[in-house]
A and B are shown apart, each in its own frame.
Chain A
Amino acid sequence: SQTIHQWPATLVQPVGSPLSLECTVEGTSNPNLYWYRQAAGRGLQLLFYSVGIGQISSEVPQNLSASRPQDRQFILSSKKLLLSDSGFYLCAWTPGSGLIGYTFGSGTRLTVV
């Protein structure tokens, strides 16, 4: 069966520090991968999505970036965090075969102080 792993679960980082959040999917190949952020009162905001290795689409201009170095690995990064980067970050995947509906990871609570 397919599973999605996301870590760390919580993270407290100072302003200006770098960020790296990792997401991996098991039990499938060539998934579509997504990074979302849930900020207070703002619902689920799509940040990046990827339909294949090295293919990244950015939805929101900001100081975050994403990379997909391997088929089932999706990384969210920042060189210098801002206070406004605080939020709950979610990774999700779909089979990418025309089937609709995400499976989400358990999320990372990021607090920038």
Chain B
Amino acid sequence: DQQVKQNSPSLSVQEGRISILNCDYTNSMFDYFLWYKKYPAEGPTFLISISSIKDKNEDGRFTVFLNKSAKHLSLHIVPSQPGDSAVYFCAASEPDSGNTPLVFGKGTRLSVIA
């Protein structure tokens, strides 16, 4: 049973427009969420995170929104750039889980078209 779901395997957006990547989760114990970005043949790199006590976290062009009641989070990239083309993974963690593995979604491949 997948606890973290990224239902869109791919997304294509024009350069300069907004990219919205979605993530849903089923485990109500999750209280910390992260987004990772992965280029081909490289390891994922941390992008942005959000705690369940917040509903929004912003870092430059990247904003993550959390809707706890809907168990849904989204990553907004504005404006999208060709260099943003990558696979984006959503991940979640339970409280006090420094020793418990993150749960990852299957990823969404974003293509930003120039």
Interface residues of A (CB under 8 A from B): 6, 32, 34, 36, 41-44, 46, 49, 51, 59, 88, 90, 92, 94-107, 109
Contact = CB atoms under 8 A, between A and B. Distances in A.
10 contacts: A44-B106, A44-B107, A46-B101, A90-B43, A100-B102, A101-B34, A101-B49, A101-B102, A102-B46, A109-B41
A55 B14 CA distance: 47
B98 A97 contact: yes
Given A92-B43, A104-B44, A32 B104 contact: no
A104 to B, nearest CB: 3
A45 B21 CA distance: 20
B9 interface: yes
Nearest to A48: B101
B45 interface: yes
Given A99-B98, A100-B97, A109-B41, A43 B107 contact: yes
Given A106-B42, A109-B41, A96 B106 contact: no
Contacts of B45: 104
Most chain A beta-carbon contacts within 10 A, residue among B45, B99, B107: B99
A107 B41 CA distance: 7
Contacts of A90: 43-44
Nearest to B9: A41
A102 to B, nearest CB: 7
B98 A44 contact: no
Contacts of A95: 98
A71 to B, nearest CB: 15
4 closest Cβ pairs, A-B complex? A43-B106, A104-B43, A98-B98, A44-B104
A42 B2 CA distance: 12
B32 A43 contact: no
Given A106-B43, A107-B43, A32 B98 contact: yes
Interface string B80-97: 000000000100010011
Interface in B62-113: 89, 93, 96-99, 101-102, 104-107
B32 A34 contact: no
